[in-house]
């Protein structure tokens, strides 16, 4: 017997004829629910509210949400399997993500040298070519493809014969065109409209597509797509190839989220099915999500899909494996080597995306199983590979990478930072969605000032708010440099009463403590002692990774030209707060720069310019990966970096 599930506030419905997991039913309605802990029922962040229907609460619901919330209808989405009609309310914070940028106008030095180019030529008649070459009866007239190759050579100023007064043989005439079946069909169709055609070729001279000149399919400029395939957030930019201008962009949750919050969970999903069905499910989910974002970009810019000539994608190795449809299982097993490491060239049709089959596709190269094409793209976008002096690049996100490099060397490391900045291991952590606290200030009077995304009542704490809150409480003396949160009795002798009164004994952590940041009755937002410990683990790992890379080159912080902070999260971070907790090295703040979504900017760069694509290839080839787990000094450095720097004052 079939039944219907309705999702609010979208008012979308899903019909099922057997028990179905809530997250999969929601995904079928294009509603992607985050599961920050990978369905391990340890975070309690995937809460939804049952508006109608009988959905009994389980032990996990009571443990993580509490009796009061359960009585109001709240349940853990990751544990819900429904077999009867129900109406479910999905909070915005469970699925909202911050937009990602793709760099500004300073990214390119014009003119561009596009990896994909369109050439307008006139294809000569078969008799004309045979007559010019002096072909005899034993030389049949050349086919349309051979004549197109001759026309392209003529357009490039190359000779049309082999220099021996004989017809150019097919293998020589074809050169590297090597067209697919679709391009051959397009060539035959174009010639029915006349000899003038426009041929599209990639950087290797491969024929991608052919269309009648002057009768191109659809209106609008020739475009490409830059894809930033993040573990948590996927972003797409529609770019005009001639100028590199971003015409439209869109971002959203990675559609693989129902399979887990991190790459380990998704690799595990692929491992569960030896027949490849798990890997195929990851691929199909990602492609479905990308198709939706691409469609939004095309609609926003009023550009038909037929005008998309190329795409370039960056991401960590697991994400690019699943984009290509390759099984990522080997990336989760020693020696952690994937199906390939360098770049990949092909056609968009091979990825399964709803794009012209002849559009060129390029997946940028990575360094290893833990440092991927997104890091290489960021390196190129920031110009770190050409810097005269050593520069640090720290990419903050679900997976955090640290790079130390210049034109003479590039060292990379992946830190075990975990998803604290994304809110997964923080009691009331969330992404930078409406209701998230993003900045915290403490006045001398002890009052607390908050800046909340969307100007709404606070319901949680995003990554920048977490760093800001810790820095503010450290400076006010609520938190000691060791990370310990002082008791109310201790604070009463150190801080104004208004501040001391915000210190609570955490009711959900036994003898633990928590600081009241804000909120309304019943929805108070707390920073707990456990949250502070999680932040220490993150910042300790990143700071220790920086010190290991500096030691590899016998460098000091004074030798570093600057620190570049990348990642969408970094856009909202305050330098002073990041340095106050030791996340960013203690150097002149003027040498600390936010570079935004450098990976997305790098994707746009390698999409539009062959020179930048070559730089990415060269950077990946000479980059050295440093495995922090194998560095003998790392454990001691990590332990030393767990503590916060001592503040200048505690008043």
Residues 6 or more apart in contact with residue 479 via CB below 8 angstroms: 470, 473, 485, 486, 532, 644
Distance, in Å, from the CA atom of 170 to the CA atom of 424, rounded to the nearest integer, reads 60
Residue 446 tokens read as: 């002890």
CATH 3.10.20.30, the chain: domain bounds: 3-94
Question: What is the reported pLDDT for 23?
Answer: 81
> CB 542: neighbour CB atoms within 10 A?
25
Angle (nearest 5°) at CA 451 between 448 and 456: 110
pTM over 0.85: no
Q: Which residues of 613-639 are buried (b: 16+ CB within 10 A; e: fewer)?
A: bebbbebbeebebbebeebeebeebbe
Closest CA to 466 of 562, 545, 396: 396
CATH says 3-94 is which class?
alpha beta
End-to-end Cα, the chain, rounded Å: 67
Question: What is the reported pLDDT for 261?
Answer: 75
Measured over all CA atoms, what is the biggest interatomic distance in the chain, rounded to whole angstroms? Answer: 106
Tokens 């957030």 sit on residue: 233
CATH 3.30.420.480, the chain: domain bounds: 221-363
Over the chain (651 residues), the average pLDDT of each successive run of 10 is 87 85 77 68 82 91 90 89 91 62 79 87 81 57 85 69 38 58 87 88 85 69 93 92 93 85 87 89 95 94 93 95 95 87 90 90 90 95 95 86 96 78 77 84 89 86 91 95 93 92 74 84 86 93 95 95 82 83 90 90 95 96 93 95 82 39
Distance, in Å, from the CA atom of 122 to the CA atom of 51, rounded to the nearest integer, reads 66
Q: How many CA atoms lie within 13 A of 526 on its CB side?
A: 22
Question: What is the reported pLDDT for 16?
Answer: 83
Q: How many CA atoms lie within 13 A of 420 on its CB side?
A: 23
Question: What is the reported pLDDT for 35?
Answer: 67
Superfamily for the 221-363 domain: Domain of unknown function (DUF4445) (3.30.420.480)
CA distances from 408 to 80, 230, 374, 618 (A): 54, 29, 21, 12
3-state helix, strand, coil in the chain (%, to 5): 35, 25, 40
Question: What is the reported pLDDT for 422?
Answer: 67
Q: Is 507 left (phi over 0), alpha (psi -120 to 50) or beta?
A: alpha
DSSP secondary structure, 579-647, as one string: HHTTSS-SS-GGGEEEEESHHHHHHHHHHH-HHHHHHHHHHHHHEEE--GGG-TTHHHHHHHHTSPPPP
Note whether 583 and 563 are within 8 A (CB): no
């Amino acid at each position: 017997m079939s039944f219907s599930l309705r999702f609010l506030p979208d008012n979308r419905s899903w019909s099922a004829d057997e028990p179905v997991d809530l997250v999969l039913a929601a995904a079928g309605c294009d509603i992607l629910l985050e599961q920050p802990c990978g369905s391990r029922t340890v975070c309690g962040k995937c809460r939804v509210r049952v508006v109608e229907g009988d959905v009994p609460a389980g032990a996990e619901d009571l443990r993580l949400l509490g009796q009061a919330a359960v009585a109001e209808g709240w349940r853990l989405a990751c544990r819900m399997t429904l077999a009867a009609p129900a109406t479910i309310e999905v909070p915005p914070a469970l699925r909202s993500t911050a937009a990602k940028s793709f760099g500004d106008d300073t990214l390119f030095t014009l003119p561009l040298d596009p990896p994909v180019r369109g050439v307008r030529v006139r294809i000569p008649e078969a008799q004309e070519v045979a007559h010019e070459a002096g072909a005899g009866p034993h030389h049949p007239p050349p086919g349309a493809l051979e004549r197109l190759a001759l026309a392209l050579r003529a357009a490039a100023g190359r000779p049309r014969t082999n220099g021996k007064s004989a017809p150019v043989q097919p293998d020589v005439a074809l050169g590297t065109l090597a067209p697919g079946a679709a391009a051959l069909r397009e060539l035959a169709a174009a010639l029915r409209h006349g000899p003038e055609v426009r041929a599209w070729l990639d950087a290797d001279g491969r024929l991608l597509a052919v269309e009648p000149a002057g009768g191109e399919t659809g209106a609008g400029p020739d475009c490409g797509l830059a894809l930033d395939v993040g573990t948590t957030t996927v972003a797409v930019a529609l770019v005009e190839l001639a100028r590199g201008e971003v015409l439209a962009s869109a971002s959203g949750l990675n559609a693989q989220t129902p399979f887990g919050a991190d790459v380990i969970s998704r690799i595990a999903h692929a491992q569960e099915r030896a027949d490849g069905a798990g890997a195929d499910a990851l691929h199909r989910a990602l492609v479905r999500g990308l198709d939706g974002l691409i469609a939004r970009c095309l609609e926003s810019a009023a550009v038909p899909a037929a005008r998309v000539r190329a795409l370039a994608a960056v991401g960590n190795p697991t994400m690019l494996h699943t984009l290509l449809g390759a099984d990522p299982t080997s990336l989760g097993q020693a020696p952690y080597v994937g199906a390939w490491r360098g770049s990949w060239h092909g056609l968009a049709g091979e990825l399964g995306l709803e794009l012209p089959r002849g559009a060129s596709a390029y997946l940028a190269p990575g360094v290893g199983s833990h440092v991927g094409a997104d890091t290489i793209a960021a390196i190129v976008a920031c110009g770190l590979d050409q810097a005269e002096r050593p520069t640090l690049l720290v990419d903050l996100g679900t997976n955090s990478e640290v790079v130390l490099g210049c034109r003479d060397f590039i060292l990379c490391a992946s830190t075990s930072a975990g998803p604290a900045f994304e809110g997964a291991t923080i009691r009331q952590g969330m992404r930078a969605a409406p209701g998230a606290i993003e900045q915290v200030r403490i006045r001398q009077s002890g009052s607390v000032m908050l800046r909340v995304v969307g100007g709404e009542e606070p319901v949680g704490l995003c990554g920048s708010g977490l760093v800001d809150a810790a820095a503010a409480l450290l400076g006010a003396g609520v938190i000691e440099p060791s990370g310990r949160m002082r008791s109310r009795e201790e604070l009463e002798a150190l801080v104004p009463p208004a501040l001391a009164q915000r210190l609570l004994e955490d009711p959900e952590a036994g003898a633990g403590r928590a600081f009241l940041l804000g909120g309304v009755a019943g929805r108070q937002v707390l920073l707990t002692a456990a949250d502070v410990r999680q932040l220490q683990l993150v910042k300790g790992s990143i700071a220790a990774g920086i010190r290991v890379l500096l030691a590899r080159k016998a460098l000091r912080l004074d030798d570093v030209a600057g620190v570049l902070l990348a990642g969408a999260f970094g856009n909202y971070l305050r330098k002073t707060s990041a340095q106050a907790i030791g996340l960013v090295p203690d150097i002149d703040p003027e040498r600390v720069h936010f570079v935004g979504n450098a990976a997305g900017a790098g994707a746009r760069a390698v999409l539009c310019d062959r020179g930048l694509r070559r730089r990415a290839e060269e950077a990946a080839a000479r980059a050295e990966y440093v495995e922090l787990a194998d560095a003998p000094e790392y454990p001691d450095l990590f332990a030393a970096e767990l503590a916060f720097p001592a503040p200048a004052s505690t008043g």
